[in-house]
């Protein structure tokens, strides 16, 4: 095994037969294969320690393939089902690390300490009898007849009949993940999908309507749409954006951050890299518009934004609903200016900037309520943010891209090109959104690859 992160450790434990598909501990069979887990970092698990702001969002109560960007959703579904969140929960809880769920379904250790997650994982690895070698950076792998020969930077070589690559992506390189697995996969003939930073802040152009609004935080729905798509079409029920996410949006000096921005960043980066003409649209008044599974507001227990009046609360807010609600707002206070009324929905500085951008005067009276007020809705709900790029791997929580799932056998994640070679975790082209989904992929794919690697070739 190469890489002792989340995927590599669980793969080692599974290869030794020390965990079942419900997460329970099992006695290691006498004929279990020996497992050597090589990691280049002197201290392993750094990414687990920094995850979730030091609390480690281990998984999510509800996970399915729609929570991921990948090239083979059915393989993602099968892999997740093979070691689902319930198994992850049982894995940690039966080994002394109980978890609790936040209202939106994110699971954390009850101690809120990522180091307890790491300690549980390393303890289970050791108990399984897998040999963990720290500070053993793999620099080369050769295929020699029916064996792999894995060489480390201290001059050692290890022969094995199977090899599991769990080297992570390129995000946060100081934790040891520098993209070696991508190079290795490419060398063995895999058509690696170009690795790009994901779950990372977005850069906006100087002409963005949010320029000069640094510090504003507001709930929003972001949609990545083909450039030039008519707003009426985008607002339609049948329209499927390239990516969509709802959540808090934080305006920074260079662009936007916060869950909504992070969740679409992978798709934005890939579109820009591929030269696809796209527009990143923000809807500041239709928080739960659409049926996006990416919406963190699926669970109505959490109020999505205190600045929204009850009329625009938790229900989907389409153009018609907005217009009716705004007309009621105008009727309740007919002498107020447009800017003052919009300030009941949005921070004043943002509302004024959006109105001006939409050719509306904040100081003027609101549009006649009998008017459909389309211009107002368009100014607040179809805002071209002028996205120009994403922040780099230093800021990214994950790497999008990697070894395509269609080049791996389903259920075993073994290469279709090189028998005995398995991939799992972030090195695979499967990227989750915020909320524990990336660790869940690491646990599920690690379990699948590890268990399969234990089988005799
Ligand atoms: C700041 C931050 C916060 C995050 N928070 C969360 C969260 O709360 N919830 C969530 O679900 N996800 C979170 N993630 C994402 C999550 O951490 C990753 O998706 C997950 O750790 C991937 O696991 P992995 O085992 O595939 O890779 P990694 O954890 O990156 O592990 C790869 C391992 O391989 C080793 N390695 C690499 N190359 C070599 C080599 N050549 N030789 C030997 N060893 C090598 C590395 O040293 C490393 O230990 C976060 C990420 C970051 C950066």
Query: In angstroms, what CA-CA distances link 210 with 107, 217, 218, 224?
Result: 33, 11, 12, 17
Q: Name the average pLDDT for the chain.
A: 88
What is the C-alpha to C-alpha distance for residues 445 and 439, in angstroms, rounded to an integer? 10
Residue pLDDT, tens place only, 81-136: 999 999 999 999 999 999 999 877 899 999 999 999 999 999 999 999 999 999 99
**For 214-262, what is each residue's pLDDT tens digit?**
999 888 889 999 998 876 777 666 778 899 888 889 999 999 999 999 9
Q: How many Å lie between the centroid of ligand 1 and the Cα of residue 231? A: 39
Q: Whose CA is nearest to atom 23 of ligand 1?
A: 6
Ligand 1 and 52: CB distance under 6 A: yes
Gap between the Cα atoms of 198 and 388, Å rounded: 15
Domain extents for the chain?
6-196+397-453, 202-390
Nearest CA residue ID for atom 38, ligand 1: 167
- 177 and 167 Cβ atoms separated by less than 8 Å: yes
Structure tokens at 87: 């198994």
**Ligand 1: centre distance to CA 99 (Å):** 20
Closest CA to 318 of 372, 269, 356: 372
Which CATH fold would you assign to the domain 6-196+397-453? FAD/NAD(P)-binding domain (3.50.50)
Residue-wise pLDDT for 327-346, tens only, equals 877 888 888 999 998 888 88
Distance from Cα 243 to the centre of ligand 1, integer Å: 24
Residue-level pLDDT at 301: 32
Which residue's CA lies nearest to atom 26 of ligand 1? 425
Candidate of 439, 440, 443 to mutate for ligand 1, largest count of ligand atoms within 8 Å of Cβ: 439
Residue with CA nearest ligand 1 atom 33: 3
């Amino acid at each position: 095994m190469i890489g002792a992160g989340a995927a590599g450790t669980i793969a080692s434990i599974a290869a030794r037969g020390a965990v079942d598909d419900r997460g329970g501990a099992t006695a290691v069979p006498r004929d279990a294969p020996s497992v050597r887990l090589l990691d280049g970092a002197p201290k392993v698990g750094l990414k687990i320690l920094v995850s979730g702001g030091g609390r480690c969002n281990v998984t999510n109560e509800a996970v399915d393939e729609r929570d991921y960007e990948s090239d083979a959703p059915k393989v993602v579904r099968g892999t997740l089902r093979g070691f689902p969140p319930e198994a992850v929960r049982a894995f940690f809880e039966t080994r002394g690390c109980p978890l609790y769920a936040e209202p939106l379904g994110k699971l954390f250790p009850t101690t809120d300490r990522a180091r307890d997650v790491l300690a549980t994982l390393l303890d289970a690895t050791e108990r399984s009898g897998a040999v963990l070698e720290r500070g053993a950076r793999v620099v080369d792998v050769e295929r020699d007849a029916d064996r792999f020969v894995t060489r480390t930077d201290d001059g050692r070589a290890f022969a094995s009949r199977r090899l599991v690559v769990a080297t992570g992506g390129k995000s946060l390189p100081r934790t040891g993940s520098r993209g070696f697995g991508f190079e290795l996969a490419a060398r063995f003939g895999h058509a690696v999908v170009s690795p790009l930073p994901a779950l990372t802040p977005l850069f906006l152009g100087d002409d963005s309507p949010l320029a000069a609004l640094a510090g504003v935080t507001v709930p929003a729905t972001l949609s990545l749409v083909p450039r030039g798509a008519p707003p009426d079409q985008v607002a339609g029920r049948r329209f499927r954006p390239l990516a969509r996410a709802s959540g808090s949006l934080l305006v920074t000096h260079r662009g936007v951050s916060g869950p909504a921005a992070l969740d679409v960043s992978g798709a934005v980066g890939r579109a820009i890299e591929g030269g696809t003409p796209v527009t990143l649209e923000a809807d500041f008044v239709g928080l739960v518009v659409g049926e996006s599974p990416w919406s963190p507001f699926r669970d109505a227990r959490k109020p999505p934004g205190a600045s929204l009046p009850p009329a625009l609360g938790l229900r989907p807010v389409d153009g018609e609903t907005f217009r009716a609600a705004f007309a009621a707002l105008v009727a309740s206070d007919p002498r107020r200016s447009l800017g003052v009324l919009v300030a009941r929905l949005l921070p004043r500085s943002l509302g004024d900037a959006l109105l001006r951008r939409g050719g509306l005067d904040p100081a003027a009276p609101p549009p006649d309520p009998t008017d459909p007020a389309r211009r107002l809705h368009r100014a607040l709900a179809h805002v071209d943010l002028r996205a120009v790029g994403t922040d780099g791997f230093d800021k990214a929580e994950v790497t999008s891209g990697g070894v395509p799932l269609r080049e791996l056998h389903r259920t075993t994640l073994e290469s279709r090109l090189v028998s005995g070679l398995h991939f799992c975790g972030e090195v695979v082209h499967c990227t989750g959104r915020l909320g524990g989904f990336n660790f869940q992929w690491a646990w599920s794919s690690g379990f699948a690859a590890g268990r399969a690697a234990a089988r005799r070739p």
